[in-house]
Structure 1
């Protein structure tokens, strides 16, 4: 059966080459089920991801599977692919935050990827996550994202139009999303309180055991409140960036801030992606991310979403800073 499909696919390929370009699959969703499944270690901020696409195509065509479901800093690199059923795959390549495959028939395409920087560290043992499946409705009927994190974490989620659930198994924390929408999540390390007794803890004074235990519990509670505060601050800042009071940015003396403002100003009104700023300035991704947050809090830049991408622009205040930097460089 696969030999017959291969012959038909080759004939279809020859016909499309002779008659014109191979089309990108359109019309009715070419993918019935699209799932993203990752096993991820927050401490190293890396893991592996498998993407499964259930495909039904009567004609040879290209399909595009987006990889930009997460933050702009996320890195997903294709390692390998396989197919099952009567699906023939004539080629697969990774191209600008998506995987493009030339396929024909009915079956499942499986992609294996190396994933890094899906999370942003908020503090010790605290991480944030962004998931967006809004743009997938044009290519798939059903979408799911399942993330398995190594370690026990308390999970806090804000979701728009996305169904989500959380579960724990041994030393793993699982978060799953279904549908088309947006979600922001925070993960913090779970704090386990061991039962303390005079028999198991000889350090505790028998004269004042309750006082010792009270101070121990107070210390843990205070630590927990600090982490919760970091998570609350994350959600507050993502909602109202301008409301956070921070130390003022000395952009005139810091070469990193100056470089970012300079490339944004040189770009005119079109704005830049964070990846473009990294490329143009030579700064690391993490450094650019931190500095952009500070510049946004200072009111020097603004970030606007266009489709799946976030573009960075100078504000009026940022333009004044840019002109000052240019004048200093010219003098």
Structure 2
């Protein structure tokens, strides 16, 4: 479940807090109320053709000496990307850090002490999806920062020269596209969902040609059509998975939460694993994971380990919600 669990310069107070977190099942605060965090910077170096790259996440802290910061940070901001946590740095080096990355939810939990900056490093693959030959799509989701309490910035360095089309929800203008030597750079800092389309530029016919080649006209038009179709597919996928975030769970009005509670209610005391819920509801794994986390915090469900699997079951509060959902239908 976890890619890495490690510590550096861990002092006794931080170790004691970590043990208490494990014993009590401490839940993490949502973005906007993070302790001691000022800003987050994501920097990606990625090759769309090879499908591999590196992601660094730098967190600037504002902790007083001896203060311990508890940070719960979204790492998987690119939909469907695969990440592997392989290293980190702490500044100053005398600072203490405990890192716990959950690849299922795409969230890194940090306990930080006596550090001004923490940087996490990941390998990344499948950041883009090939829509057609020479055309790639990607989705960047920064809505976790919509509260504005934490400053966020993203820089994407793509190997190669691409024509870039970007759409966003909600509409924002705080992004830029720059072309360097064999590199395309995309920068943004506004919390939104970005739908990105990359196209390898088409080489037109030589000016010395005296014959009109119909393919020179059809090929760019075909690429434009493919791009439009790709954007429509991304928008429909986004609408279908209900990307919008909510601060409080209202199980009677939130379709994803209703589906999870209905599935658990039908399963009874046997419960279900997260994978079984995903299969039964047809909801993407990332959306199920976020709702399960919030439903557990709100007291609707419990998570208990049976054998090698974690099974989810409804609490009395969850069972009451299930009855109301069934009656409402």
Q: Normalising TM by the smaller chain, what interval?
A: 0.5 to 0.7
Deviations 1:291-318 (A, max 9, x none): xxxxxxxxx978799598699xxxxxxx
Question: How many residue pairs align between the two structures?
Answer: 244
Does 1:188 find its partner at 2:199?
A: yes
Distance of 2:191 and 2:98 partners within structure 1? 28
Question: 1:62 aligned to 2:70?
Answer: yes
Distance 1:309 1:229 in 2: 35
* Alpha carbons 2:146, 2:192 under 8 Å: kept: no
Give runs of aligned pairs for residues 254-273 of structure 1, distance below 5 A.
Answer: 269-270=262-263
SS at match of 1:77: strand
Q: Report the TM-score, using the length of structure 2 for normalisation.
A: 0.62
Q: Unmatched 5+ residue regions in structure 1?
A: 1-5, 198-208, 242-266, 282-299, 312-331
Supply the distance in 1 between the matched residues of 2:149 and 2:114 (Cα, whole angstroms).
Answer: 16
- TM-fit CA distance, 1:139: 9.1
* Aligned counterpart for 2:58 among listed residues 23, 35, 52: 52
Q: Matched residues in 2 for 1:183 and 1:143: separation?
A: 14
Pick one of 207, 224, 229 that aligns with 1:233.
Answer: 229
How far did 1:82 drift? 0.5
Q: How does 1:77-96 map to 2 (within 5 A)?
A: 77-85=84-92, 88-95=95-102, 96=105
Higher alpha-carbon Rg: 1
**CA RMSD after TM alignment:** 3.9
Distance change in 2, residues 1:84/1:177 (3 Å): same
In the aligned structure 1, how far is the partner of 2:218 from the partner of 2:63?
Answer: 58
Question: 2 CA distance for matches of 1:87 and 1:308?
Answer: 35
**Pairwise mapping of residues 190-205 of structure 1 onto structure 2 (< 5 A)?**
190-193=201-204, 195-197=206-208
**Is contact 1:81–1:111 with CA below 8 Å preserved after alignment?**
yes
Aligned-residue offset at 1:222: 1.6
Displacement of 1:182: 1.2
1:219 aligns with 2:215: yes
**More moved, 86-95 vs 107-116:** 86-95
| Aligned counterpart for 1:146 among listed residues 155, 158, 174 | 155
Structure 2: how far apart are the matches of 1:101 and 1:269? 33
Is structure 2 residue 180 aligned with structure 1 residue 169?
A: yes
Q: 1:210 & 1:194 partners in 2: Cα distance?
A: 10
- Whether contact under 8 Å (2:178, 2:184) holds in the other structure is yes
Under a length normalisation based on structure 1, what TM-score does the superposition of the two structures give?
0.62
Assess if the C-alpha contact under 8 Å between 1:87 and 1:107 holds in 2: no
Contact 2:100 2:109 in 1 (8 A): yes
Aligned to 2:111: 102
